[in-house]
Structure 1
Amino acid sequence: MLLASIHKDHNNINRLLQLLTEKLSAIRAEKDVNYSLIRDVVVYLQEHAEKYHHPKEDLIYHYYIEHYVDAERVAALDDDHQALAELTADFALTIEMVLMDAVIPLDVFADKLNGFVMTQRAHLELEETSVLPVIERAMTTGDWDILQARWDEDDHDPLFGENVSAKFKELAAFI
């Protein structure tokens, strides 16, 4: 169940990254863009991915590191998650500045948005192709039962769940 929820989260995050890519194309084509939607994606990543998704992955990764050999690639993901949190916070400040009408050249914003999307995608790709398949093959049903028992968080998703949070209504309607 934990692994399935991680894959589901990754699919949802990829949908949001696709939306950001579409917004990036519109920005580069000098079309009107709803920057509030970009902010909402970033807020969702800060509030859901960093507080629920990454801790869930970290639970699995730390367990794997403790119980299995050849875990160097998995161990590096802690640093990746910290770097993603910092990147997301930095980009959140940038989008807030844009929404407050600060003067940020369009090409600078586009480059920051592109870097944000590319870094997020690279991280998801690493996990989906290089890390999670190795963990899935190595760990036993007993391992997953132990991890599930340790995961006591509610998996309520404020955007993709049954009850969409008021702050994500516009984004949910858009996607």
Structure 2
Amino acid sequence: MGTTMLARLNHDHKHIAILLNILKVKHNRLAQGEAVNFNLIRDVVEYMQSYAEHSHHPLEDIIYSYYLKKTAETGTEKLADQHQGLIDASASLMASLNLILSDVVVSKEQLVLDLKAYVILQEDHMLFEERDIFPRWAEVIDQTDWQEIRALCSLKLIDDPLFSDNDNVLFEELRDYITKDE
């Protein structure tokens, strides 16, 4: 049971990594003054907002607080702080992209910096979880715990709108791009 929860989180990370690689490619093109598809970039950020921030991160927060209760550890706020930081970064990037897509002039230099910072923030965060947080959970949380956690998480467990078999048209262009790209 637990392995499936952790497997799901790790699985999400692999998918997020694919999207971050797309952002890196777009970032490099922008930095070189080439034209990029801003709709595609916005779709990636929108995915991060609609899935990572509404399902993936909340699951991690729920599991972490369960873990802290169980171990009576005084946890740092690092995980929650990082999640909040990512929400802020996505929102700010989304605001810039929406301006660009509404033909408002936005500093390309700033966008290049913001994109780079966003990717680094996301990657550092996943690395922190994979190296530091997930292994601790795997050690301490047993099958019974995972069943309780699953019940606590049920409200936040949504289908991945991009990397699943459902016919979600929301990210159609992005899905096509990833499929062609691979």
Shorter-chain TM-score tier:
over 0.9
How far is the alpha carbon of 1:71 from its aligned partner?
A: 4.8
Distance 1:68 1:100 in 2: 50
The one-character-per-residue Cα deviations of 1:57-107 (angstroms, maximum 9, x if unpaired) are 11101101111144524x421121111111111111011111112212221
**Mapped contact 1:20–1:38 kept (Cα < 8 A):** yes
1:84 equivalenced with 2:47 (yes/no): no
The one-character-per-residue Cα deviations of 1:125-173 (angstroms, maximum 9, x if unpaired) are 1111111111111222222122123222443111001014212000000
1:25 equivalenced with 2:28 (yes/no): yes
Q: Where do 1:1-175 residues align within 5 Å? A: 1-73=4-76, 75-153=77-155, 154-175=157-178
TM-score, with length taken from structure 1: 0.93
**Deviation above 3 Å: which 4+ runs of structure 1?**
none
The one-character-per-residue Cα deviations of 1:23-80 (angstroms, maximum 9, x if unpaired) are 001111222200100000011111111111111111101101111144524x421121
Equivalent residue letter for 1:155: I
Equivalent residue letter for 1:104: V
**Mapped contact 1:40–1:168 kept (Cα < 8 A):** yes
Equivalent residue letter for 1:45: M
Runs of 5+ unmatched residues, structure 2: none
SS at match of 2:164: coil
TM-score, with length taken from structure 2: 0.90
**Mapped contact 1:23–1:33 kept (Cα < 8 A):** yes
Distance 1:54 1:113 in 2: 20
Runs of 5+ unmatched residues, structure 1: none
Name the % identity: 33
Distance 2:8 2:158 in 1: 8
SS at match of 2:34: coil
Distance 1:152 1:140 in 2: 18
**Mapped contact 1:164–1:172 kept (Cα < 8 A):** no
In the comparison of the two structures, how many residue pairs are matched?
A: 174
